[in-house]
């Protein structure tokens, strides 16, 4: 094995799960895709770990392993800080990001037993992609695990040029 920049030698026996962060506009099908991925993993006897980062989602067709809604009450955040829906989601993510080291601890303890980790993000894409909390979560997880981002797009709704361009921005 080739030594790392810090001089340590990586342990090839230590397996790390691949992380996939699902992003996309509201209604694009992220949660539905996550449900199908979860079913496929079970069918193939692969070990997946799912993290829900959408504090405002009302229904989930699967049970995430970690759910932001168990830590942060989105409606209470809106009420307490006098925020609208996007501000409530952003503030909830910010509060959750302050505890993301605990999430990383859970993942590190389980990494040898996992094949994949999936993050289902809020439909208000700008809240995750352009916020400090989105950056903190993404960089924290990518620094410890091989990570990719899957951009989910609702193709039937994107036939109109303006919708297509909105998706591409």
> Would you say residue 143 has pLDDT above 70?
yes
Measuring CA to CA, which residue among 39, 34, 38, 36 is closest to residue 54? 34
Q: What is the pLDDT of residues 31-79, one digit of tens each?
A: 899 999 999 999 999 999 999 999 999 888 999 999 999 999 999 999 9
- Tokens 């109109």 correspond to 160
* DSSP β-ladder status, 147-152 and 116-120: unpaired
β-sheet with 18-24: strand ranges across: 66-67, 48-52, 116-120, 18-24, 147-152
Query: Whole-model pTM?
Result: 0.83
């Amino acid at each position: 094995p080739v030594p790392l920049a810090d001089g340590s030698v990586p342990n090839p026996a230590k397996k790390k799960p691949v992380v996939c962060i699902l992003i996309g506009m509201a209604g694009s099908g992220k949660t539905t895709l996550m449900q199908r991925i979860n079913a496929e993993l079970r069918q193939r006897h692969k070990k997946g770990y799912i993290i829900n980062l959408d504090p405002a989602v009302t229904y989930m067709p699967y049970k995430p392993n970690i759910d932001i809604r168990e830590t942060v009450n989105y409606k209470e955040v809106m009420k307490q800080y006098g925020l609208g829906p996007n501000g409530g989601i952003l503030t909830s993510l910010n509060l959750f990001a302050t505890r993301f080291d605990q999430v990383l601890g859970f993942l590190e303890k389980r990494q040898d037993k996992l094949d994949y980790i999936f993050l289902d993000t809020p439909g208000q894409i700008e809240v995750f992609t352009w916020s400090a909390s989105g950056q903190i979560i993404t960089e924290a997880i990518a620094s410890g695990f091989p990570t990719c981002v899957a951009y989910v797009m609702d193709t039937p709704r994107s036939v109109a040029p303006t919708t297509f361009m909105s998706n591409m921005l």
